[in-house]
Amino acid sequence: MDFHSFAFIFLSPGFSPRDNTVVTEKGDYQFKAVGIDMAHKEQVLMVADELVAEGFQMIELCGGFGPEWAYKVSEHLEGKVPVGAVYYGPRYRQQLADLMK
């Protein structure tokens, strides 16, 4: 199977999947970035379901979700696609937490 699609789900204040989604394509390759409001992280499960239904082969979560949500999404999707996450090292965790307040 060829790799042709990848999605990234990120958190930002006041963002919604309906209004804050960006898609870019080149040839047969497609990338989709979907924004979710930081106060509604649970929407990631619905968004992940939609991405899998659309045929995306891999999902990555922004660091604001943390390992707990990466696990929840992976379990929710029952291994249908790989789910990864961006993580920040110990040096930057406080800065990230301050940004995400």
3 state DSSP class of 15: coil
Q: What is the pTM of this model?
A: 0.89
Q: What is the pLDDT of residues 13-68, one digit of tens each?
A: 999 999 999 999 999 999 999 999 999 999 999 999 999 999 999 999 998 898 89
3 state DSSP class of 1: coil
Report the CATH number at residue 11: 3.40.50
Q: Which of 17, 23, 16 is nearest to 55 (CA)?
A: 23
Range of the domain at 29: 5-99
Mean pLDDT of 70-93: 91
Q: What pLDDT shows up at residue 34?
A: 98
How many angstroms separate the CA atoms of 88 and 84, rounded? 13
* Tokens standing for residue 18: 């309906």
* More confidently predicted of 90 and 37: 37
* More confidently predicted of 87 and 44: 44
Count: domains in the chain? 1
